[in-house]
């Protein structure tokens, strides 16, 4: 369970990290797809992040704004897992930090925004589905608090949504290209708190392996990549990452 950190990991210099929901559960953010996940327990909740339902139904949008308000009120804080990745960057060993999370907790912990590749976007901004205007989530939520149940774009009047990738939406091609380049250019690919079942996360592990990188999986449940991994760690992320990423000195 707490084996020594292998030399190849201690000596790695270009680590590409991929994080999923598991790293944020210690910050009180629910895992949506896990065994006790929000969507697993209430499949109807998935409508809130499906573009077709969102655009068609004002009631879905009203519920979405309330959900965003609740998340802002909860004010989740980064945890020891996030801090360990800030330390990895400080060591100069971080090639890229790819995240499936939309919570912004890597940046809140202190990771450089330029190093964080948010493949599913961020909940800290809103974007207009019509003109693409992007503004801060806090501004839209202030309008909700002032009584607007479904604030519209101030520029063109069209529907606003969080700047996250909904079901039915394409991923940002530039972000995916940056992730792909990092996966192909790392010596270790470290997958943390992700089931490695959703594209493009799984594809990035394939790219890294194909380029000769070592694979480390830190996840509570088995993943389809465990048999390809050089190291599989089931220990809680908050203790596993500080241990695995400490530099011997």
* β-strands 160-164, 15-19 pairing: unpaired
With binding defined as CB under 5 A, does residue 235 bind Zn ion?
no
Q: Is 10 helix (H, G, I), strand (E, B) or coil?
A: helix
- Residue 130 binds Zn ion, judged by CB under 5 A: yes
120 is catalytic: yes
Give 234's contacts (C-beta < 8 A, 6+ positions apart).
1, 219, 220
183 binds Zn ion (CB under 5 A): no
Complex with Zn ion: residue 164 or 239, whichever CB lies closer:
164
3-state secondary structure of 101: coil
* Element holding 116 (H helix, E strand): strand 116-118
The helix-helix angle for 137-145 and 58-74 (nearest 10°) equals: 110
CA-to-CA distance for 39 and 31, rounded, in angstroms?
Answer: 9
155 interacts with Zn ion by CB under 5 A: yes
Instruction: Out of 16, 18, 128, 233, point to the residue binding Zn ion (CB under 5 A).
Output: 128
Q: Which of these is catalytic: 82, 106, 120, 124?
A: 120
Question: Which C-beta is closer to Zn ion: that of 93 or that of 161?
Answer: 161
Q: 126 or 191: whose CB is closer to Zn ion? A: 126
The yes or no reply on residue 153 touching Zn ion (CB under 5 A) is yes
Q: How near is the Cβ of 161 to Zn ion at its closest, in Å?
A: 11
Q: How far is the CB of 131 from Zn ion (least distance, A)?
A: 3
For residues 56 and 155, which CB has a smaller minimum distance to Zn ion in the complex?
155
Q: Beta strands 121-128 and 134-136: pairing type? A: antiparallel
- Return residues touching Zn ion (CB under 5 A): 128, 130-131, 133, 153, 155-156, 158
């Amino acid at each position: 369970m707490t084996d020594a950190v292998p030399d190849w990991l201690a000596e790695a210099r270009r680590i590409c990290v991929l994080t999923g929901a598991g790293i944020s559960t210690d910050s009180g953010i629910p895992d949506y797809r896990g065994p006790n996940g929000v969507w697993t327990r209430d499949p109807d909740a998935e409508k809130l992040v499906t573009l077709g339902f969102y655009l068609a139904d004002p009631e879905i949008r009203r519920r979405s704004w309330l959900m965003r308000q609740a998340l802002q009120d909860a004010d989740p804080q980064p945890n020891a897992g996030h801090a360990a990745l800030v330390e990895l960057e400080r060591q100069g060993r971080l090639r890229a930090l790819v995240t499936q999370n939309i919570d912004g907790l890597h940046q809140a912990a202190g990771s450089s925004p330029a190093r964080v590749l948010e493949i599913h976007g961020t909940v800290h901004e809103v974007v207009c589905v019509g003109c693409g205007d992007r503004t801060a989530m806090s501004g839209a939520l202030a309008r909700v608090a002032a009584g607007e149940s479904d604030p519209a774009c101030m520029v063109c009047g069209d529907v606003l949504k969080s700047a996250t990738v909904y079901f039915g939406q394409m991923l940002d091609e530039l972000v995916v290209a940056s992730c792909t380049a990092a996966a192909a250019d790392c010596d270790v690919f470290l997958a943390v708190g992700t089931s490695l079942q959703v594209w493009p996360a799984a594809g990035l592990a394939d790219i890294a392996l194909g380029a000769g990188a070592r694979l480390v999986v830190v996840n509570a449940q088995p993943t389809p990549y465990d048999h390809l991994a050089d190291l599989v760690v089931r220990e809680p992320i908050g203790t596993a990452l500080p241990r695995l990423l400490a530099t011997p000195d």
